């Protein structure tokens, strides 16, 4: 039964889209932050914010998928403690994928620059302008991002280990190939 | 002769009271504001000038003699962030070392009906003088006159933001100048 051993097309699409956007948004944020004030910096920071809002929306969609579907089980060959660790890691990833865009949004408001999604839709300011709060939120946003970097590193390392060393179906459950997963 | 003078003074005072006319010419700078609004990547932002001076004479009954002169200290700008404030003082923006102030000098005021008026005049920034017209409303609260108005200028007309900053897709060309001026009427010449 392919439906039980692989994620659905929707889940796979959302996962890889989120991955792609995260890999674009993270370095964009780091790079733009280092730039001297220029039109390019203003543009890159705006794109970073728009991507962040998109990741937030994708995360909402992915949690909605999780709430209405049962993910395919991990291969039974994986020890229970590793399965638990994997679930814990996934939970933390979801938490960060909410918390990071949210702290970015709050930081933007606190610094006195409202977020206008895609240059079209202005998000409400959740906090008033407050320089000290803005600086604090920026540090939190940065810290959470380096946490995300570490977790994503572990997530990728685990997926590759299962695929190339254990030769089990863990990664194939999420690969966009049409192949059925062998039990 | 004395009686006549006294009588005419009374008449004049009476006329002034009935028309509620008075010349507003003592600007209360601490109660006045000079602000601006602009868009950066589609994001609406606001700023203000911390230091500016204003002189005006305005009598709604004698609009032909109305005059105004404003001067903003460009280094006192608050764009909303310290990074922005440092940037706009520089050569590409206001070049405040060479051009420390922006000036508006009126050439006349038109009545637009009701409490609406329009100030016409020359705005000089960074050595460039251009005609502007600024619609405003006037409201009188006892001996205090309150002027509220706004107009939009194009920053590139004054070379504000040259070179790489001429890119209006990052910082919009249109900048809305918003003024709120409070001026007291001159003390009536009694006694």
Q: Which residues contact A92 (CB under 8 A, 6 or more apart)?
A: A151
Contact state of A39 with B83 under an 8 Å Cβ cutoff: no
Total domains in chain B come to 1
How confident is the model over B34-89, as pLDDT tens digits?
Answer: 999 999 999 999 999 999 999 999 999 999 999 999 999 999 999 988 889 999 99
Asked, for residue B42, whether it belongs to a domain, the answer is: yes
Residue B100: burial class (beta carbons within 10 Å; 0-12, 13-18, 19+): middle
Q: Reduced to 3 states, what is the DSSP secondary structure of residue B106?
A: strand
Asked, for residue B9, whether it belongs to a domain, the answer is: no
Q: Reduced to 3 states, what is the DSSP secondary structure of residue A22?
A: helix
* Cα A11 to Cα A14, A17, A67, A100, B168, distances in angstroms: 5, 10, 12, 21, 40
Asked, for residue B162, whether it belongs to a domain, the answer is: yes
Residue B190 has pLDDT above 50, yes or no: no
Asked, for residue B10, whether it belongs to a domain, the answer is: no
Among the residue ranges A43-57, A67-81, B121-135, B148-162, the one predicted with the least confidence is A67-81
Quote the domain boundaries for residue B138: 22-185
| Euclidean distance between the first and the last CA atom of chain B, given in angstroms as a whole number | 17
The pLDDT confidence band at residue B19, using thresholds 50, 70 and 90, is very low
More confident call, B117 vs B19: B117
Contact state of A113 with B44 under an 8 Å Cβ cutoff: no
Dist CA A175 CA A2 (whole Å): 13
Dist CA A60 CA A55 (whole Å): 9
A47 Cα to chain B: minimum distance (Å):
10
Q: State the pTM of this model.
A: 0.85
Among the residue ranges A61-65, A166-170, B25-29, B87-91, the one predicted with the least confidence is A166-170
Asked, for residue B16, whether it belongs to a domain, the answer is: no
Contact state of B170 with A42 under an 8 Å Cβ cutoff: yes
B positions 46-85 inside 8 Å of A (CB) = 80-81, 83-84
Specify the CATH number for the domain of residue B180. 2.40.128.110
Torsion of CA B150, B156, B162, B168, to 10 degrees: 90
Predicted local confidence at residue A35, as pLDDT:
95
Asked, for residue B144, whether it belongs to a domain, the answer is: yes
Contact state of A42 with B171 under an 8 Å Cβ cutoff: yes
A9-178 classified as CATH 3.30.67: no
Asked, for residue B12, whether it belongs to a domain, the answer is: no
Contacts B167 to A, Cβ<8 Å: 39
Complex ipTM, two decimals?
0.81
């Amino acid at each position: 039964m392919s439906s039980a051993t692989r994620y659905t097309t929707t889940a796979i699409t959302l996962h890889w889209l989120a991955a792609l956007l995260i890999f674009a948004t993270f370095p964009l944020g780091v790079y733009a932050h280092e730039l001297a004030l220029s039109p390019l910096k203003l543009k890159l920071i705006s794109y970073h914010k728009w991507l962040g809002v998109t990741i937030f929306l994708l995360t909402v969609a992915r949690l909605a998928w999780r709430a209405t579907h049962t993910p395919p089980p991990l291969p039974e060959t994986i020890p229970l403690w590793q399965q638990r660790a994997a679930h814990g890691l996934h939970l933390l990833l979801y938490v960060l994928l909410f918390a990071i865009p949210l702290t970015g949004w709050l930081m933007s408001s606190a610094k006195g620059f409202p977020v206008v999604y895609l240059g079209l839709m202005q998000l409400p300011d959740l906090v008033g302008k407050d320089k000290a709060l803005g600086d604090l939120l920026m540090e939190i946003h940065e810290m959470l991002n380096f946490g995300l970097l570490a977790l994503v590193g572990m997530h990728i390392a685990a997926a590759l280990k299962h695929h190339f060393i254990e030769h089990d179906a863990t990664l194939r459950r999420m690969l966009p190939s049409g192949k059925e997963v062998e039990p | 002769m004395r009686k006549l003078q006294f009588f005419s003074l009374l008449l004049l005072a009476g006329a002034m009271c009935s028309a509620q006319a008075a010349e507003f010419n003592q600007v209360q700078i601490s109660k006045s504001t000079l602000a601006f609004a602009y868009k950066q990547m589609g994001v609406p932002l606001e700023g203000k000038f911390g230091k500016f001076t204003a002189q005006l004479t305005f009598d709604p009954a004698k609009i032909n003699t109305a005059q105004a002169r404003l001067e903003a200290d460009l280094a006192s700008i608050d764009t909303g962030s310290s990074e922005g404030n440092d940037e706009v003082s520089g050569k590409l923006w206001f070049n405040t070392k060479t051009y420390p102030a922006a000036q508006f000098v009126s050439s006349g005021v038109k009545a637009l009906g009701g409490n609406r008026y329009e100030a016409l005049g020359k705005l000089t920034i960074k050595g460039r003088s251009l005609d502007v017209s600024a619609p405003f409303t006037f409201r009188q609260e006892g001996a205090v006159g309150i002027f509220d108005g706004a107009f939009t200028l194009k920053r590139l007309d004054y070379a504000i933001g040259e070179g790489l900053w001429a890119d209006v897709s990052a910082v919009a060309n249109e900048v809305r100048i918003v003024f709120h001026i409070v001026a007291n009427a001159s003390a009536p010449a009694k006694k």
